[in-house]
Structure 1
């Protein structure tokens, strides 16, 4: 279930209504009156949730799901356990997105809300600069400073002795103590997710959060997207430079460092103590092991073992990359000499 501090619960809704809304066919009409309250990913779905299966590699996983219902393609309905109702559709991910929008609504600031909500909890010695907006249910810890024109969304929790500079937006996020965020950063906006529907692409509702642990630093104009299903998390004392992009569902360890223009795609797992040079890029769903180092402008398209140093594009172990660069330089020199 999405965090109620950040998302309104619009359920329950019957499977018959979801089938009509998404264009899916309920395999067992006798279950039309069954109700669900939430969408969920396959691994964590409970009896009151609806999930989806779009990857054939997860057929074995779906056989043991506890979900009350699941969107599946034709031919996969038989893989579901008896407790899980099948809604059959050619586009399970699209149907999931429609169901998510029906069941959950993000809590946002309204045009008539006060600048600082009386329902916010602000401890002593907090400094709010001119133009600050604080939403209902937000919490700001003792000694924190919020810079001019910064927006703290509903339900956001900010720890003690944090330094939040000017013109920042923070939503759907939980921050530890001593977090530092420089001007213009965006924390908790929706991650990039879309799927094809009958009338073109639609956005996938992003129902996760951002977790910034104690001592994290985020540079100016950097973006940390909230999770699509799970949380985006950044571990203690990790330092992120200006103009860095962290995609949804990423899990970044402690004491990591990322130089400017680094881009981390969605669902990347980064171990403790990893260092990434400027303009490094990491493709989605990869793992970078603890203590690894990624050179500037490297393009990582496969998992990186712990403790190794990689560079180049596509990135590989730095010694191999340098040997290849040297070989190419010699070959191009030889060819130029023969002319």
Structure 2
């Protein structure tokens, strides 16, 4: 369920009311008063939760789900398991998004009051520079320095001996010791998720967190998005250059390095000791094995085995990429000779 440090629970809501708010068909009268407390994924849902499924590709997950209710297209209405109420709609994910916004609300900064909220807990030797704002319930460890104009959101936990740069913005995050987040970085903003709603495209609520483990460095103006539901995690001692983007639900291992302009799409899994050259881009749901190297400007669309070096667009093992380049150059030279 969403972390109560970062999200306010607005439930429970009667199932019939929730269906109406989400634009789904009304449930049978005998279950219309069932109380729904949370929005959840199929795999993580329980009897008090509502989930969604969009197509038959996820039929096995639907049949195994423990959800109390599920938004489904009409052709899956008869496939929901016993104990789960089918809420029929042509836009299951859009209906679920509206339900999630009804059941959960991100906790924001108070509009008025001191820059450091009275409920924030700061250990000894924390330095808070001019213009910094620290939200309700935040926790900051000994020896951490908060730069001018930095914003630490409600509930955020920051470990000891960290450096938070000027105008960095941190929310929905749990941060370890000796972490450096340089100027202008944004940690915990909503990841990019959109779906069809009743009147057009709507945002999908992002109900997860960011976890930065000990010794992580986040470069200036880099962004690490919070998870859509699960956490976005950056492993111990991983180093991000300036202007790097980590999307929602990404899992980055330990001791990885990413040069400037690297972009990692949602739900990518990266092993330990992986290196990315500048401007490398990775498509969503890709898995990269331990010790792999992704060359500068590579465009990666497939899984990479451990220890391999990939390059090019679309990326492939670097030996194959360079062999193709050599063949193209040779073919061009022969073509020019033939035209002469």
Place the TM-score, normalised by the shorter chain, in its bin. over 0.9
1:61 paired residue number:
61
Q: What TM-score does the superposition give when structure 1 sets the normalisation length? A: 0.99
The alignment status of 1:170 with 2:170, answered yes or no, reads yes
How far is the alpha carbon of 1:89 from its aligned partner? 0.5
1:271 paired residue number:
271
2:9 paired residue number:
9
Contact 1:139 1:157 in 2 (8 A): yes
2:236 paired residue number:
236
Contact 1:194 1:203 in 2 (8 A): yes
Question: How many Å separate the matches in 2 of 1:93 and 1:146?
Answer: 39
Contact 1:108 1:154 in 2 (8 A): yes
User: What secondary structure is seen at the aligned counterpart in 1 of 2:51?
Assistant: strand
The alignment status of 1:133 with 2:127, answered yes or no, reads no
User: What secondary structure is seen at the aligned counterpart in 1 of 2:143?
Assistant: coil
Question: How many Å separate the matches in 1 of 2:334 and 2:7?
Answer: 64
2:145 paired residue number:
145
Kindly report the root-mean-square deviation, in angstroms, between the aligned alpha carbons of the 2 structures. 0.8
Contact 2:16 2:27 in 1 (8 A): no
**Structure 2: runs of 5+ lacking an equivalent:** none
1:110-131 CA-to-partner distances (Å, cap 9, x unmatched) read 3213210000000000001111
Contact 2:55 2:73 in 1 (8 A): no
Question: How many Å separate the matches in 1 of 2:233 and 2:54?
Answer: 26
Aligned length: 339
How far is the alpha carbon of 1:337 from its aligned partner? 2.0
2:49 paired residue number:
49
**Structure 1: runs of 5+ lacking an equivalent:** none
Q: Which moved more, 1:279-288 or 1:110-119?
A: 110-119
Question: How many Å separate the matches in 2 of 1:40 and 1:327?
Answer: 51
1:159-184 CA-to-partner distances (Å, cap 9, x unmatched) read 00101111100000000000001111
Question: How many Å separate the matches in 2 of 1:281 and 1:184?
Answer: 22
Question: How many Å separate the matches in 2 of 1:302 and 1:321?
Answer: 14
Question: How many Å separate the matches in 1 of 2:313 and 2:234?
Answer: 26
Contact 1:28 1:86 in 2 (8 A): no
How far is the alpha carbon of 1:78 from its aligned partner? 1.6
User: What secondary structure is seen at the aligned counterpart in 2 of 1:43?
Assistant: coil
Ranges of 4+ aligned residues in structure 1 off by more than 2 Å: 26-29
Contact 1:26 1:85 in 2 (8 A): no
Q: What TM-score does the superposition give when structure 2 sets the normalisation length? A: 0.98
Contact 2:166 2:182 in 1 (8 A): yes
How far is the alpha carbon of 1:27 from its aligned partner? 4.7
